[in-house]
Structure 1
Amino acid sequence: MPSNWNALFIAWAVSLIIVIGGGLFFEFTHDPASHQAEPEQPRQEVAENTTPQQQPAPADAGTADNEDDDHTASGDEDTPAADMPLNQPTAEPEQQSHQQDPETGLSTPAQSAPASAPQIAISGTLRVEADPALLEQSNQGPLPKIADDGRKPFNVYAAPAPRNDTKHRIAIVVTDMGMMARNTRRAIAELPSEVTFAFSPYASNLMEWGEEARRTGHEVLLMIPMEPQNYPQNDPGPLSLLASYSTRENVNLLKSSLGRLTGYVGIINHMGSRFTAAADSLRPVLDELQRRGLMMVDSRASQYSRAVNMSRAIGLPSAYNNRYVDDNLAPDAINAELAELEQYAQTVGSAVGVAHNYPVTINAINRWAAGLEARGFILVPITAVADRQPAPR
């Protein structure tokens, strides 16, 4: 009997040693941080990191006279640069010289950067913060207005006139800014400061995006959603101006968009093939823009648009799109559209192109702009071509 007790005691002691020793070993070797679940990415960032195979390709559209409904269906996607390997993500300059604000998604200057890191060129020529004298406080947000001394947002927020006034002028407007953070950051960081940015009223952090764009020398436009021909099958969203609405309803919707951003020189219509051709609906909107000291850029969603001719009749500064640059995302097709812009500018003196902030488009515009002056042209912000184009036909 004692021998049995001894055996049980020895077995119990060995088990106790194994349990205590295993616990101590786990305590000294376990790293809790390595087993914590990673926080779920925000929905927007997940969309940005979607591989090209998961994203539908943007539909090819025709010329600038066609309905621009196709110009929005894919505008919120990150499209890979065609000349880069698909399994190698594009490096963003902000990662080298800027830090990202985790709350807003915007890049801010880093405290220190390597001497070899590329720096964003700061123009120092545009007012970054909105001028309080040019703002009307309202329940729809800070609305642009003409200052008591007569200054207009169109003039105050415009970039200086081009240094070379003898070359043919070409303006590029990049739309859908603010909808995809990565594409927006890349466009701001990489595109020449003469390129104009058009921000969507549906984007978040609009005020911060606008200030960052102006800080790097870019003029800013605000996109105003307007009714297309096939509405409501193709719906520009809850802020859309509709031909069936009353003047009061459309002006209130216009103000709802205008109050979401400050520091812009004017607006550009988003879709709008039906609305811009409806003179009775369009006229009060143009009157409101003129009263607030802005400019009108017609994206030419329709060849029947009345926007420019009506703007000129009331003294509202205006410009209009001559070519959609990236309906076809093949680099050769984008280059061909940019070449068409040059031919048009050479013929009439000034031209405007509208593009998206796709990486392939950014690359193509940068390559094209690098040799532009040598070919007798100059890249200019949108205000530099206001009222310089012949009346649209």
Structure 2
Amino acid sequence: MLKQFSLLACFCLAKASLAADLDIIIPEFPEDHAIQFDTYPQQDTSTFIKGSELLANTESLIRQSLKPKVILIIDDLGDNYRLAKRIVDLPAKINLAFLPNTPFAKKLAQQGYQKGHDIMLHFPMEATTRPDLLGKGALTHQHSKEQAEQLFQANLEQIPHVVGFNNHMGSLMTQSADHMRWVMDYAARRNLFFVDSRTIASSVAIDQALQQGVPSLGRDVFLDPVSDSITSEQQLMRALSIADKKGQVVVIGHPYRSTIELLERELPFIAQHYQLVTVSEYWQSNQKAIN
């Protein structure tokens, strides 16, 4: 209970401090904007009611659009059904990244899609260390362009409703301009978005994605670089601070019990102060803003 209070208290103080520093002015609407219908007893009031509702909806939309965006991705799903089901059932729309060749990926992806989450492929890619953690379906330096595309397609076919992907590991592959160009060329043809997990600072994945016209984002914060509750709480506060300063943050977490407990406790509260959005919603809103 003490940890919960401390996290929420820090959150409120950080938000209040930010608003004061930035001198944010939120448009206000008069509380008495509703029309007094008893003044017009013989008049059809239906149009006035609609107008009042429209004004209220406009106020809500403006306030919502001013909230910083939090894009939360949970990786490594598909192996453990019970833990992943708790993530699927979280009270907010998030992004679920499934590993190919896992026993529960298809079933959980279907459930996640029905809940409104974005479904992603967590594409295994060769790293500089720990090949034992890659699993099946991994892209390696030995793959040719044709082989890379065939592998990508085979991985996608295992998981329904995929709208985008990010890299699982990949500290070696995301440095390879050739392999990333091949992957992004295929992603563009499949109309997928990409999120760089940024497992290494020298990744060229986003550069290649942009060259191929693939909508792309990069990870800002790992929610749980180690699986303990104190670290996760600290990382969550760091993520919210970045969102406050930049207007958005991309957070990647994993199906650890400590992470799930933190999200089950905090997401309803965070949703009151931030926009929890899927990656596809993020790009849709950006496109509307451009048009």
Give the TM-score normalised by the residue count of structure 1: 0.54
Distance 1:257 1:162 in 2: 40
Tell me, yes or no, if structure 1 residue 244 matches structure 2 residue 149: no
Instruction: Give the letter for the 1:357 counterpart.
Output: P
| Count of paired positions | 226
Separation (CA, whole Å) in 1 of partners of 2:252 and 2:283: 15
Contact preservation (8 Å) 2:93, 2:115 = no
Match of 1:185 among 82, 85, 108: 85
Q: How does 1:147-296 map to 2 (within 5 A)?
A: 164-189=64-89, 191-230=90-129, 232=131, 234-296=132-194
Alpha-carbon deviation of 1:235?
Answer: 4.8
TM-score by length of 2: 0.72
Give the structure 2 partner of residue 322 of structure 1.
Answer: 220
Structure 1, unpaired ranges of 5+ = 1-82, 84-160, 389-393
SS of the residue aligned with 2:266? helix
The residue matched to 1:366 in structure 2 has which SS? helix
For residues 102 and 265 of structure 2, what CA distance do their matches in structure 1 show?
A: 28
| Distance of 1:272 and 1:162 partners within structure 2 | 40
State the partner residue of 1:78. Answer: none
From the two aligned structures, give the one with the greater helix fraction.
Answer: 2
Q: Tell me the C-alpha RMSD between the 2 structures.
A: 2.3
Question: Is 1:226–1:240's contact at 8 Å kept on the other side of the alignment?
Answer: yes
Tell me, yes or no, if structure 1 residue 346 matches structure 2 residue 255.
no
Alignment partners' CA distance in 1, 2:276 and 2:99: 23
- Map 1:48-197; keep pairs closer than 5 Å: 164-189=64-89, 191-197=90-96
Distance 1:345 1:194, change over 3 A: same
Deviation at 1:187, TM superposition (A): 1.6
Please say if 1:300 is aligned against 2:183: no
> What's the CA shift for 1:373?
4.6
Residues 193 and 216, structure 1, Cα contact 8 Å, conserved in 2: no
Larger-Rg structure = 1
Instruction: Give unpaired runs (5+ residues) of structure 2.
Output: 4-60, 287-291
Q: How many Å separate the matches in 2 of 1:269 and 1:323?
A: 15
Residue 176 of structure 1 aligns to a residue in which SS? strand
Quote the Cα distance in structure 2 between the aligned partners of 1:329 and 1:212. Answer: 26
Q: CA deviation digits over 1:234-285, x for unaligned, max 9?
A: 4513311112321111111111111111211111111101101110111011
Determine the structure 2 residue equivalent to 1:103.
Answer: none
Shift of 1:338: 0.7
- The aligned residue for residue 234 of structure 2 is 336
Q: 2:126 and 2:97 mapped to 1: Cα distance?
A: 18
Task: Please state how far the C-alpha of 1:225 moved relative to its aligned partner.
Answer: 0.7
Q: Separation in 2 of the partners of 1:201 and 1:213? A: 16
Indicate the larger mover: 267-276 or 353-362: 353-362
- Per-residue CA deviation, residues 325-363 of structure 1 (Å, 9 max, x unaligned), is 112222221111011111111222111111112222111
Shift, 1:382, TM fit:
2.1
Distance, in Å, in 2 between the alignment partners of 1:308 and 1:336 is 27
Show CA shifts across 1:175-204 (max 9, x none): 121211111122222x12312111111212
Q: Find the aligned partners of 1:275 and 1:227 in 2 and give their Cα distance.
A: 6
| Conserved 8 A contact 1:351-1:385 | no
**Helix, strand or coil for the counterpart of 2:66?**
coil
Partner of 1:379: 276
Identity %, equivalent residues: 27
Superposed CA deviations along residues 193-222 of structure 1, whole A, max 9, x for unmatched, are 312111111212433221111112211111
Counterpart-to-counterpart distance in 1, 2:104 and 2:135: 18
Aligned residue type for 2:77 = M
Shift >6 Å, 4+ stretches: none
- Aligned amino acid, residue 91 of structure 2: P
CA 1:325–1:380 in structure 2 vs 1: closer, same or farther (change >3 Å)? Answer: same
Deviation by residue 1:273-308 (Cα, 9 ceiling, x = unmatched): 110111011101100001111111111111111111
What amino acid is the match of 2:253? A
Per the alignment, residue 116 of structure 1 pairs with: none
